[in-house]
Amino acid sequence: MLRSIWLAIALLTSQDIAPSPDQISSPTIRLPVVPVLVEPDAPPDPIPSPQVITTLTMDQWYVVESTRELIVLTSPDGVVAVEATPGPIKVRGLFADGTGNVETRAYRSPYVYFITGVSPGKTELILIPAGVSTQSDIVRQVLTVSGIGPIPPPIVDPVIPVDPIVPPPPKPTVGKLKIMIIEDPSLRAAIPASQIAVMDGQTLREYAKSHCTAADGAPDFRMLSVRHDVSNQPAWIKAAFAEPRASLPFLVVSNGTSGFAGPLPATVAETMTLIQKYGGP
């Protein structure tokens, strides 16, 4: 009878029995420490008690490992950024618990959290395992962030192409005028009325009063017959008469620098537009 009881106990203890919820161990959370803990194949020599890293510079990673998924809170916000990554994972960079040089590390835990500095200051990390049942499973760690973060490139206004400055074309020289109209009075009957209006109308005469040079108190505006004797006239009249003429009436305009010599335009408006090129409005 006693032998049967021991056999039953042996069978029960030899079977795989799922642990009850109360028997599940607390999560293992690892913070960065110095010196860095390594799991050797053989028991190591005694080493000093590790010190949890409490400082972080802007160019470093503060890496937290956990056997259970964590809710990571920071208070206040805005001092650090948290990025969760499933493990195992191998990374290369600067580490808060490192040597100060770039290193390559492998993290074998199923949950890895990379914490980086955003702005200088102090914040508290609050690491809460999923399904936590006791307050003692929550890890709180104050972290001081220092240094200067990445400097963004300067903002440069886009270069907007500018059309080259092209100087305006030179304006005709404008000055006091000398105006002469040469006609053949015997042919007036054949001249269009619009040209007669130019020669006899008030528009050109009034313009001449304010825009022509004066001789003996009268503006230098002449209406002369093609047969007029100009031998005793001023030099400018002789020069105007010397201009080759293909037709009549013939207009000569000069401001002393530039001018026009050619057929009289057909209308008052066309004539004034032409003359104003050299004498202004």
Classify 257 as helix, strand or coil.
coil
Beta strands in 94-227 (DSSP E): 103-107, 111-117, 121-129, 139-146, 178-183, 214-215, 218-219, 221-225
183 and 271 in a common domain: yes
122 and 38 in a common domain: yes
Which domain range does residue 105 map to? Answer: 25-146
- Tokens 């990379």 correspond to what residue? 114
Q: Which residue, among 58, 61, 64, 115, has the nearest Cα to 93 in the 3D structure?
A: 61
259 and 197 in a common domain: yes
CA-to-CA separations, 34 to 9, 50, 52, 63, 95, in angstroms, rounded = 48, 5, 7, 13, 11
At 109 the pLDDT is 92
Find out whether the peptide bond into 76 is cis, omega within 30 degrees of 0: yes
At 178 the pLDDT is 92
Classify 126 as helix, strand or coil.
strand
At 1 the pLDDT is 43
What's the burial of 274, exposed, middle or buried (CB within 10 Å: 0-12/13-18/19+)?
middle
* Residue 102, domain member (yes or no): yes
195 and 102 in a common domain: no
- pLDDT category at 37 given cuts 50, 70, 90 is low
- pLDDT category at 194 given cuts 50, 70, 90 is very high
**What is the pLDDT averaged over residues 147-151?**
62
Beta bridge partners of 81: 116
SS (H, E, C) 84-117: EEECCEEEEECECCCCCCCEEEEECCCEEEEEEE
Q: Quote the number of domains for the chain.
A: 2
Q: Give the CATH number of the domain where residue 272 resides.
A: 3.40.30
- Token code pair at residue 277: 């090129």
Are 241 and 234 within 8 A, CB to CB? no
Q: Decide which of 130 and 6 is more confident.
A: 130
Residue that terminates a domain, selected from 146, 167, 196: 146
* Residue 97, domain member (yes or no): yes
What's the burial of 240, exposed, middle or buried (CB within 10 Å: 0-12/13-18/19+)?
buried
32 and 110 in a common domain: yes
* Residue 8, domain member (yes or no): no
- pLDDT above 90 covers what percent of the chain? 34
Residue that terminates a domain, selected from 126, 146, 166: 146
**What is the pLDDT averaged over residues 206-230?**
88
* CA–CA separation, 117 and 260 (whole Å): 82
* Residue 151, domain member (yes or no): no
At 179 the pLDDT is 93
199 and 115 in a common domain: no
* Residue 137, domain member (yes or no): yes
225 and 122 in a common domain: no
- pLDDT category at 28 given cuts 50, 70, 90 is confident
SS (H, E, C) 169-182: CCCCCCCCEEEEEE
- pLDDT category at 46 given cuts 50, 70, 90 is low
Q: Which long-range contacts (CB under 8 A, 24 or more apart) does 205-211 make?
A: 207/272, 207/275, 207/279, 208/177, 208/179, 211/176, 211/177, 211/279, 211/280
* Residue 167, domain member (yes or no): no
189 and 124 in a common domain: no
Residue 22 has pLDDT above 50, yes or no: no
At 217 the pLDDT is 79
- pLDDT category at 20 given cuts 50, 70, 90 is very low
At 272 the pLDDT is 93
**What is the pLDDT averaged over residues 128-156?**
79
* Residue 171, domain member (yes or no): no
183 and 119 in a common domain: no
Residue 14 has pLDDT above 60, yes or no: no
* Residue 1, domain member (yes or no): no
At 270 the pLDDT is 94
